[in-house]
Amino acid sequence: MTEFAYQAFSEVARQKTFVAAAKTLNVTPSAISHSIAGFENELDFPLFIRNRTGVTLTPDGAKILPIVQEILNTETKLHEEADRIKGLNSGKIRLGAFSSVCINWLPDIIRTFRQEHPQIDISIEQGNFNRVTEQVRLGRIDIGFSALPIAENLNVVPLHEDQIYCIAPSDFVPHNGQTITKEDVKNERFILQQIDYDRETKRALDAYNVSVNSIQYSIDDASIIAMVESGLGLGILPELALQNLSGNVRVYPFSKSFKRTIAVVSQSEEKQTPSTHAFLQLVQRWVNDHY
């Protein structure tokens, strides 16, 4: 099977329409359709379920998607290694990260990397912890920034413990004047991003007996600050998210310390391209230098 057939299958699985996949690969929809049909004939089972709005993977198609993606990644690694042997510095790195890493870490990391490797193309996809990890598992991104725990069998390197704080209106003062206790939150509402209601955020709320009925959801970190500033409730944000946010609010630690562990996630080292390996090394050096 040709590399194009693998590319067509992977792109249709991502885009969920033949037309969108054709546009990305700069070919006609009929070329995509012909390639998928040939691939299905070779495997002797259907890869997609066709419907009026597009296509979805069959259960069998979903099983082979990570394998096909691994083949494509290996092809990329082969070409990059050949370029490295010839003395070139080329390739592409696909990154995935949650918002506060995108804002506070990646601009400086990418700028530093491009100074050393100007010909390597870098793309970024923003998503929550679970989506980023899943995209790495599927081979659709090369390096992801997520938070522990990570159950998938991937290369996981813890980078930084990020303290979690309570955000309160400017006139809010805890009973002890310094930290947030159960007494402070028993009649308060909390404003979160819905994607954050897991891991350490949920553990903190559970420890302080905050019920689900006392939780409202906002769009992003800046919106949480604005709503807290308006007196609509308390917020929970990690230190990294607070670095570039401002507002007339107060930031208090909880009486019990809560931290999330930020980690970088990738495929196993033998599956990494030279450019991916170099970027991972820079990430670890950068975090060590800054923390």
Structure confidence by residue, pLDDT tens digits, 212-261: 888 888 888 899 999 999 999 999 999 999 998 889 999 999 999 999 99
Residue 80 resides in a domain: yes
Question: Is 16 within the bounds of a domain?
Answer: yes
Among 85, 100, 117, identify where a domain stops. Answer: 85
Question: Is residue 192 one of the residues assigned to a domain?
Answer: yes
Name residue, tokens 């709005």.
53
Measure the CA–CA gap between 74 and 279, rounded to whole angstroms. 18
Q: Is residue 174, in this structure, part of any structural domain at all?
A: yes
Domain boundary pick from 30, 54, 85: 85
**Whose structure tokens read 């790195």?**
93
> What is 115-161 written as a DSSP string?
HH-TTEEEEEEE--HHHHHHHHHHTS-SEEEEES---SSSEEEEEEE
Total number of residues shown for the chain: 291
Q: How many domains does the chain have?
A: 2
Handedness of CA 173, 175, 180, 182 (dihedral sign): negative
Q: Which two tokens stand for residue 143?
A: 């390096």
Residue 273 lies in a domain: no
Q: What distance in Å separates the CA atoms of residue 82 and residue 186, rounded to the nearest whole number?
A: 62
- Give yes or no for a cis peptide into 149 (omega within 30° of 0): yes
The answer to the question of residue 101 being in a domain is no
Residues 41-63 have pLDDT tens digits of 999 999 999 988 899 999 999 99
Given 85, 118, 147, which residue is the final one in a domain?
A: 85
Q: Is residue 264 in some structural domain?
A: no
Question: Residues of the chain with pLDDT > 90: what percent?
Answer: 71
- CATH label of the domain that carries residue 24: 1.10.10.10
For residue 88, pLDDT beyond 60: no
What's the CATH number where 170 sits?
A: 3.40.190.10
CA distance 73 to 81: 12
Q: Around Cβ 248, how many Cβ atoms within 10 Å? A: 12
Residue 217 covered by a domain:
yes
Query: What is the number of other CB atoms lying within 10 angstroms of the CB of residue 38?
Result: 14
3-class secondary structure, 139: coil
Parent domain of 219? 161-259
